[in-house]
Amino acid sequence: MLANQEKAGWNEVDDAIKNITDFAVNLEDKKKADAIIKLIFSFLKSNNKNIWLNQCINLGRIYIQLGEFELLEKLIKETKDTFTLKDGSLDKS
C-alpha cells in the first residue's frame, strides 16, 4: 500500500499505517517492533511528510499510553529536528 499511496486514498494509507504501528508496538520482541517502525517511518519521512507527521502524533500517543517516555522524547526530537530550518527557526509551512 505504501508503494501505491498515490492510488489509495490518504485516509486508507493513514489507517493502514496506524494499524501496522499499533501491531508493531505490541510485539513482545522489541527489536522487531523497532525495526518495523523505523522502516515505515523512514519511508514516510522521505515520501509523504504529512502522513509521517500524522503517524508521529499517533506513535507519540501510544508511547504515552505505554509509559515509553524515552522513546517519546526521541520521537519529539526527531520531529522537531525535521522541521527546524538552518537558521534554527521552525518551519511553519
Helix (H, G, I), strand (E, B) or coil at 90: strand
Do 18 and 55 form a contact (C-beta atoms < 8 A)?
Answer: yes
Q: Would you say residue 26 lies in a domain?
A: yes
Q: What percent of the chain has pLDDT over 70?
A: 91
Q: Would you say residue 69 lies in a domain?
A: yes
Cα–Cα distance, 58 to 56 (Å, whole number):
5
- pLDDT band for 19, please (50, 70, 90 cuts): very high
Q: Would you say residue 15 lies in a domain?
A: yes
Global model pTM greater than 0.75: yes
| Strand residues in the chain grouped as ranges (E) | none
Q: What is the pLDDT of residue 58?
A: 93
Q: Would you say residue 55 lies in a domain?
A: yes
**Domain count along the chain:** 1
Asked if residue 1 has pLDDT above 70, the reply is no
Q: Would you say residue 56 lies in a domain?
A: yes
Beta bridge partners of 90: 84
Residue pLDDT, tens place only, 45-85: 998 888 999 999 999 999 999 999 999 999 999 999 998 98
Q: Which domain holds residue 61?
A: 10-82
14-18, 71-75, 86-90 — most confident range: 71-75
Q: Would you say residue 3 lies in a domain?
A: no
